[in-house]
A = this chain, B = another copy of it.
Amino acid sequence: MKRLTIQRQAILDLINRSNQHWDAEELARCLNKNGHQLGIATVYRGLGALENSGLIQSIQLADKKRYERADKGHHDHLICTNCGDIEEFCDDKIEQRQQQVAQDLSFHMTGHQLLMFGICQRCFNQSAGSEAL
């Protein structure tokens, strides 16, 4: 990334000011609603550039990529298949075992992504309530 333009700065600011996992479309909508003016292609390119520079990070879901702040550091995700909510965690033991597995297989790991799917507590309680009817 040669230039941190106002467009890219706007994307970066919005992500850094929030705690969400944004997709490109959401970011574009939110930015354009708040005075900024940038095309969807610029958002995609900006996100790519910012991620390459380590200023933001992303997770690859089945349908789309979602971007978030990089200052939280590495972590993994729990994804509610009912409401789409995304929770975060980082477990050192898991991270260590991954390193061990890679080493055992002479695999030079550069990154990983662990997604856990299921029902979040809120959704679980709600469905428990409706069952009682």
Contacts and interface: CB of A to CB of B under 8 A. Distances in A.
Interface string A79-119: 01100000101010110011011100111111111111111
Chain B CB count within 10 A is highest, among A97, A106, A107, for A107
A56 to B, nearest CB: 17
A67 B108 CA distance: 25
**Contact-residue size bin, chain A (C-beta under 8 Å from the other chain):** 20 to 34
The quantity of this chain's copies bound in the complex is: 2
A111 B100 CA distance: 23
A126 to B, nearest CB: 12
B94 A78 contact: no
A108 B119 contact: yes
Interface centre among A98, A101, A106, A124 (most CB of B within 10 A): A101
